[in-house]
Amino acid sequence: MKRSLLLLVLLFAGWSAMAQIVSSGNHQIIFQLTNGQAATHEKFLRQLNNILEAAPNAQIEVVTHGMGVDLLLKDNNAFQSALEDLSKRGVVFVVCENTLKQRNLTKDIFLPLAGFVPSAILELVIKQEQGWIYIKAGD
Protein backbone atom coordinates (compact mmCIF):
# COMPACT_ATOMS: atom_id res chain seq x y z
CA MET A 1 0.00 0.00 0.00
CA LYS A 2 2.78 2.42 0.95
CA ARG A 3 4.62 1.59 -2.26
CA SER A 4 1.51 2.28 -4.38
CA LEU A 5 0.90 5.56 -2.60
CA LEU A 6 4.52 6.61 -3.08
CA LEU A 7 4.36 5.73 -6.78
CA LEU A 8 1.15 7.71 -7.14
CA VAL A 9 2.68 10.75 -5.42
CA LEU A 10 5.79 10.59 -7.62
CA LEU A 11 3.72 10.27 -10.78
CA PHE A 12 1.55 13.21 -9.78
CA ALA A 13 4.59 15.33 -8.87
CA GLY A 14 6.19 14.61 -12.23
CA TRP A 15 2.96 15.34 -14.09
CA SER A 16 2.36 18.65 -12.30
CA ALA A 17 5.93 19.77 -13.00
CA MET A 18 5.44 19.02 -16.69
CA ALA A 19 2.02 20.63 -16.70
CA GLN A 20 3.61 24.04 -16.22
CA ILE A 21 5.39 23.87 -19.58
CA VAL A 22 3.01 25.21 -22.18
CA SER A 23 5.42 25.56 -25.08
CA SER A 24 8.84 24.21 -25.92
CA GLY A 25 9.17 26.66 -28.81
CA ASN A 26 11.99 29.17 -29.14
CA HIS A 27 9.85 32.26 -28.69
CA GLN A 28 11.62 35.61 -29.01
CA ILE A 29 10.04 38.27 -26.82
CA ILE A 30 11.20 41.84 -26.37
CA PHE A 31 9.77 43.93 -23.55
CA GLN A 32 9.80 47.71 -23.27
CA LEU A 33 9.93 48.98 -19.67
CA THR A 34 9.53 52.71 -19.02
CA ASN A 35 7.91 52.60 -15.58
CA GLY A 36 10.08 53.29 -12.55
CA GLN A 37 7.69 52.11 -9.83
CA ALA A 38 8.84 49.27 -7.56
CA ALA A 39 5.38 47.68 -7.53
CA THR A 40 5.41 47.52 -11.32
CA HIS A 41 8.93 46.06 -11.29
CA GLU A 42 7.87 43.35 -8.84
CA LYS A 43 4.90 42.31 -10.99
CA PHE A 44 6.99 42.44 -14.15
CA LEU A 45 9.72 40.19 -12.76
CA ARG A 46 7.05 37.72 -11.67
CA GLN A 47 5.68 37.76 -15.23
CA LEU A 48 9.12 37.03 -16.65
CA ASN A 49 9.46 34.03 -14.34
CA ASN A 50 5.99 32.84 -15.34
CA ILE A 51 6.94 33.02 -19.02
CA LEU A 52 10.11 31.02 -18.44
CA GLU A 53 8.17 28.39 -16.48
CA ALA A 54 5.64 28.04 -19.30
CA ALA A 55 8.14 28.42 -22.17
CA PRO A 56 11.63 27.56 -20.87
CA ASN A 57 13.23 27.99 -24.30
CA ALA A 58 11.98 31.54 -24.74
CA GLN A 59 14.52 34.22 -25.55
CA ILE A 60 13.69 37.38 -23.62
CA GLU A 61 15.19 40.84 -23.83
CA VAL A 62 14.08 43.70 -21.60
CA VAL A 63 14.75 47.16 -22.99
CA THR A 64 14.62 49.84 -20.31
CA HIS A 65 14.44 53.57 -20.90
CA GLY A 66 13.05 56.63 -19.21
CA MET A 67 12.30 55.81 -15.58
CA GLY A 68 12.36 52.09 -16.40
CA VAL A 69 16.16 52.07 -16.13
CA ASP A 70 15.72 52.37 -12.35
CA LEU A 71 15.01 48.63 -12.29
CA LEU A 72 18.68 48.01 -13.04
CA LEU A 73 20.30 50.48 -10.64
CA LYS A 74 23.01 48.99 -8.43
CA ASP A 75 22.39 50.80 -5.13
CA ASN A 76 19.74 49.46 -2.75
CA ASN A 77 18.15 47.30 -5.43
CA ALA A 78 15.51 45.10 -3.79
CA PHE A 79 15.27 43.08 -7.01
CA GLN A 80 18.97 42.34 -7.54
CA SER A 81 18.71 38.66 -6.64
CA ALA A 82 15.64 38.16 -8.85
CA LEU A 83 17.36 39.99 -11.72
CA GLU A 84 20.50 37.90 -11.36
CA ASP A 85 18.42 34.70 -11.37
CA LEU A 86 16.60 35.80 -14.52
CA SER A 87 19.88 36.77 -16.15
CA LYS A 88 21.28 33.30 -15.39
CA ARG A 89 18.20 31.87 -17.11
CA GLY A 90 19.08 33.86 -20.24
CA VAL A 91 17.02 37.03 -19.88
CA VAL A 92 18.92 40.00 -21.29
CA PHE A 93 18.45 43.42 -19.68
CA VAL A 94 19.56 46.55 -21.53
CA VAL A 95 19.60 50.26 -20.71
CA CYS A 96 19.08 53.03 -23.26
CA GLU A 97 22.13 55.28 -23.59
CA ASN A 98 19.90 58.18 -24.70
CA THR A 99 18.21 57.95 -21.30
CA LEU A 100 21.62 58.04 -19.63
CA LYS A 101 22.38 61.32 -21.39
CA GLN A 102 18.98 62.82 -20.65
CA ARG A 103 19.10 61.86 -16.96
CA ASN A 104 22.83 62.54 -16.51
CA LEU A 105 23.51 58.95 -15.46
CA THR A 106 26.66 56.88 -15.93
CA LYS A 107 26.99 53.20 -16.77
CA ASP A 108 28.84 52.36 -13.55
CA ILE A 109 25.71 52.90 -11.41
CA PHE A 110 23.97 49.89 -12.97
CA LEU A 111 24.14 46.24 -12.02
CA PRO A 112 26.85 44.30 -13.87
CA LEU A 113 24.18 42.25 -15.66
CA ALA A 114 22.92 45.36 -17.48
CA GLY A 115 23.83 45.80 -21.10
CA PHE A 116 23.55 49.04 -23.03
CA VAL A 117 22.03 50.04 -26.36
CA PRO A 118 22.41 53.43 -28.07
CA SER A 119 18.64 53.86 -28.54
CA ALA A 120 15.86 51.89 -26.84
CA ILE A 121 13.32 52.63 -29.56
CA LEU A 122 15.72 51.59 -32.31
CA GLU A 123 16.51 48.37 -30.42
CA LEU A 124 12.78 47.61 -30.26
CA VAL A 125 12.39 48.30 -33.99
CA ILE A 126 15.37 46.13 -34.96
CA LYS A 127 14.18 43.19 -32.87
CA GLN A 128 10.65 43.45 -34.30
CA GLU A 129 12.09 43.51 -37.81
CA GLN A 130 13.91 40.28 -36.89
CA GLY A 131 10.59 38.70 -35.89
CA TRP A 132 10.65 39.24 -32.13
CA ILE A 133 7.30 39.74 -30.41
CA TYR A 134 6.95 43.15 -28.72
CA ILE A 135 5.26 43.62 -25.34
CA LYS A 136 4.97 46.86 -23.38
CA ALA A 137 5.71 46.04 -19.73
CA GLY A 138 4.04 47.70 -16.78
CA ASP A 139 1.46 50.44 -16.80
What pLDDT, on the 0 to 100 scale, is given for residue 25?
Answer: 76
What pLDDT, on the 0 to 100 scale, is given for residue 33?
Answer: 98
8 A C-beta contact, residue 132 and residue 111: no
What type of residue sits at position 43? K
What pLDDT, on the 0 to 100 scale, is given for residue 138?
Answer: 79
Cβ neighbours of residue 3 under 8 Å, at least 6 residues apart? none
**Predicted confidence pLDDT, tens digits, the chain (139 residues):** 555 443 444 444 444 444 487 877 789 999 999 999 999 999 999 999 999 999 999 999 999 999 999 999 999 999 999 999 999 999 999 999 999 999 999 999 999 999 999 999 999 999 999 999 999 997 7
8 A C-beta contact, residue 36 and residue 70: yes
What pLDDT, on the 0 to 100 scale, is given for residue 91?
Answer: 97
What pLDDT, on the 0 to 100 scale, is given for residue 2?
Answer: 52
Task: Please list, residue by residue across 2-37, b when 16 or more beta carbons sit within 10 angstroms of its beta carbon and e when fewer do.
Answer: eeeeeeeeeeeeeeeeeeeeeeeeeeebbbbbbbbe
Q: Is 28 helix (H, G, I), strand (E, B) or coil?
A: strand
What pLDDT, on the 0 to 100 scale, is given for residue 8?
Answer: 40
What pLDDT, on the 0 to 100 scale, is given for residue 113?
Answer: 97
What pLDDT, on the 0 to 100 scale, is given for residue 22?
Answer: 80
pLDDT tens column, 22-47: 877 789 999 999 999 999 999 999 99
Sign of the torsion formed by the C-alpha atoms of 21, 15, 87 and 47: positive
